[in-house]
Amino acid sequence: MTGRAEHRRRSERDAVISGIGQSEVGRRLGRTAMSLTVEACLAAAADAGLTLNDIDGLSTYPGGVMDGLNPGFGGPGTDAVQDTLRLDLNWHSGGHEGPAQIQAVINAAMAVTTGLARHVLVYRTVWESTAQGSGGRQGMGGAGGGRARMAGSLQYLLPFGAVSAANWLAMNAQRHFHTYGTTRETLGEIAVNNRRNAGLNPKAIFRDPMSMDDYLAARMISTPLCLFDCDVPVDGSTAFIVSHRDYAPDVPNTAVGINAVGTALHGRPSWDQRPDMEESPLRAAADAMWARTELTRADVDTAQLYDGFSIITLMAIEALGFCAIGEAKNYLEGGHRISLDGELPLNTAGGQLSAGRLHGFGLLHEACVQLRGQGGERQVSGEPEVAVVANGGGPIAGTMLVTRGVS
């Protein structure tokens, strides 16, 4: 698998991220998903120095049909956005079956590199905070609200009160603790790190300082995961413009190059059926990504790794090879390596744990901010040139290596 990938032309390098945009982000904003989406999309186009007349491609995750599963999870589909903005498109795509949230960006890059489109608008909108209201976070499938019926793979989870990814990922964490001696403190290093970074991000939701003691004292959600191991639902939309690299010299801000992507998925795409649940499905995608680049882990200046739950981030650090599988306890000890001035500054805007659950896209947005040198108080020193982004991490995953300027 890896051998074949090595001999492919790395055509993703013909694509760049020419613009980024993000709406207001907050809890229970009471705005519509379309209002947030349009705010982010217009900001991204303007940031790229383009008008909507220049946009000829449209891409999103998860598409417009997902809200029945988890209120506020899906934003508007491409048809709704195309119609609202009256776009004329040469290519369009929205869906959730693929290498996690970042698949929408990867699809856009492929559309650009195949010549199907020149400037693709990519967006991801969540409005879970408003949709779920003030009554606490909800389980899937209407759990607690009546006797619902469920088909598909979730029928083998939800009847047993395993109604949230918190329950499912907790069982990955329990395996990791059991097999490798990982502890709550190990996960706490990620949560504390992200909170510290969020304090430097004016748009973050939780900015108050949090100590390890605060973390350890938090109420349990699903053992061994506590409240601060779980991300915070928000309302917000994030958008990118993916353009052909020919456009890079005209980009008003620094173009962000797409150096390599990882889309592989080996083994069973399942929350509960993977034989070794200590390992993330990201591993195959990460191996495929590294095989597509001459860059190495030592070249990475910042990592923006999915943190829907802290255990996903821990498993991503291992899957990407920053330490061996099972070594995260030592790697994360004291939190120095992942801090802003460490060797691998992690989730520098606060991640989903503290800045808010922008569902993968917030992490790619922050990678671009850092590579463009626009991080303000949280800017990684030394003009970072390479960032790695990972999305997903339950049954599926995707990853991307991005650079300051074209790759």
Cα(first)–Cα(last) distance of the chain, in Å? 24
The reply to whether 314 sits near other proteins by the rule CB under 8 A is no
Q: Which residues pair with 261 in a beta bridge?
A: 400
The backbone torsions φ and ψ at residue 209, rounded to the nearest 5 degrees and listed phi first, read -60, 145
Region from 5-13, 48-56, 269-277, 337-345 binding other proteins, contact rule CB under 8 A = 269-277
DSSP string of 195-256, one letter each residue: HHHHTT-TT-S--S---HHHHHHSPEEETTEEGGGB----EEEEEEEEEEGGGGGG-SS--E
CA separation for the pair 113, 117 (Å, rounded): 8
DSSP state of 138: -
The reply to whether 10 sits near other proteins by the rule CB under 8 A is no
CA separation for the pair 291, 295 (Å, rounded): 9
Of the candidate residues 18, 103, 113, 167, the single one contacting other proteins (CB under 8 A): 167
The reply to whether 4 sits near other proteins by the rule CB under 8 A is no
Toward other proteins, which CB reaches closer, 117 or 166? 166
The reply to whether 183 sits near other proteins by the rule CB under 8 A is no
Of the candidate residues 272, 299, 327, 385, the single one contacting other proteins (CB under 8 A): 272
Handedness of CA 79, 391, 45, 203 (dihedral sign): positive
Least gap, CB of 175 to other proteins (angstroms): 5
Region from 115-123, 167-175, 287-295, 373-381 binding other proteins, contact rule CB under 8 A = 167-175
Region from 132-140, 192-200, 310-318, 374-382 binding other proteins, contact rule CB under 8 A = 132-140
CA separation for the pair 318, 295 (Å, rounded): 18
Pairing of strands 397-404, 386-392: antiparallel
Contact 71, 138 (CB under 8 A): yes
Least gap, CB of 164 to other proteins (angstroms): 7
The reply to whether 171 sits near other proteins by the rule CB under 8 A is yes
The reply to whether 275 sits near other proteins by the rule CB under 8 A is yes
The reply to whether 232 sits near other proteins by the rule CB under 8 A is no
CA separation for the pair 304, 349 (Å, rounded): 9
The reply to whether 172 sits near other proteins by the rule CB under 8 A is yes
Region from 22-30, 37-45, 130-138, 190-198 binding other proteins, contact rule CB under 8 A = 130-138
Where do contacts with other proteins occur on this chain (CB under 8 A)? Answer: 136-144, 146-151, 153, 155-164, 166-167, 170-172, 174-175, 178, 219-225, 272-273, 275, 277
